[in-house]
Amino acid sequence: MEKINRRTFIKTMGAASMGSLIASSGTSIASSSGGRSSSEKPVTKRPFGKTGVHGSMLGFGGSQNLMSKQIIMKQALKMGVTYWDTAHTYRNSEEAMGKYFETFPDDRKTVFLVSKTPSSDPALMTGYLETSLQRLKTDYVDMFSIHSVSNAEEELTNETKTWAEKEKKKGRIRFFGFSTHKNMERCLSTAS
């Protein structure tokens, strides 16, 4: 089985974007994820840390307007891109992914779905998680993260950890983490 490279993926997604412009004129997506044609190469999978999960090495980022571009999500999944990343603050991407999962509910089982909260306060995180689940039309996310942590000592507290463990037990999140865009070394060191 041949592996797909980044350039091929980007070219294909560009073609899918053009297709979505045509499709947004009223044409619906006709089939579920189905098989690949012989010319398509699946995206390589690799271990997701120590979780036991294997995910696609390319992720599908939802920080764009996807509502009228449902075909892009179908094409990404068809190519083996099963790691989908969104956040409470990414425009309407949670709603768009929810629309996709409502149309193709079986595809939700193959997607490793990640969403993020803008708060590390457990009381607020509950509301953000509930909103994300509602928007995404799912009863769980595979990874729920605190978005853009800059001070791990203040944001990754024992209360936050306790909250995450409770949500895992409820089955609403499988894994919990954080993203960071600055002060990365210190955040990672503190978290470990």
Q: Does the pLDDT at position 11 exceed 60? A: no
Q: Does the pLDDT at position 10 exceed 80? A: no
Backbone angles phi, psi at 55, to 5 degrees: -125, 165
Q: Answer yes or no: are the C-beta atoms of 67 and 96 closer than 8 Å.
A: yes
Q: Answer yes or no: are the C-beta atoms of 124 and 117 closer than 8 Å.
A: yes
What pLDDT score does 2 carry? 55
Residue 21 banded pLDDT, cuts 50, 70, 90: very low
Question: Which one has a higher pLDDT value, 24 or 48?
Answer: 48
Question: Which one has a higher pLDDT value, 118 or 26?
Answer: 118
Q: Answer yes or no: are the C-beta atoms of 98 and 62 closer than 8 Å.
A: no
For the chain, what percentages of helix, strand and coil (3-state, to nearest 5) are there?
Answer: 45, 15, 40
| Mean pLDDT score, 58-74 | 83
Q: Does the pLDDT at position 26 exceed 50? A: no
Question: Which one has a higher pLDDT value, 183 or 46?
Answer: 46
Express each pLDDT in 125-161 by its tens digit: 999 999 999 999 999 999 998 887 777 778 788 899 9
What pLDDT score does 38 carry? 47
Across all residues in the chain, what is the average pLDDT? 81
Q: Angle at which helices 93-103 and 70-78 pack, to 10 degrees? A: 70
Question: Which one has a higher pLDDT value, 145 or 98?
Answer: 98
* Minimum mean pLDDT range among 56-60, 130-134, 177-181: 177-181
- Look at strands 45-47 and 54-56 and give their pairing: antiparallel
Closest CA relative to residue 90, chosen from 151, 171, 13, 147 = 147
Locate the domains of the chain by residue range.
6-27+42-191
Q: For domain 6-27+42-191, which architecture applies? A: Alpha-Beta Barrel (3.20)
Q: Dump the DSSP string for 48-84.
A: -TTSS-EEESSEEE--S--TT-HHHHHHHHHTT--EE
| Mean pLDDT score, 106-133 | 95
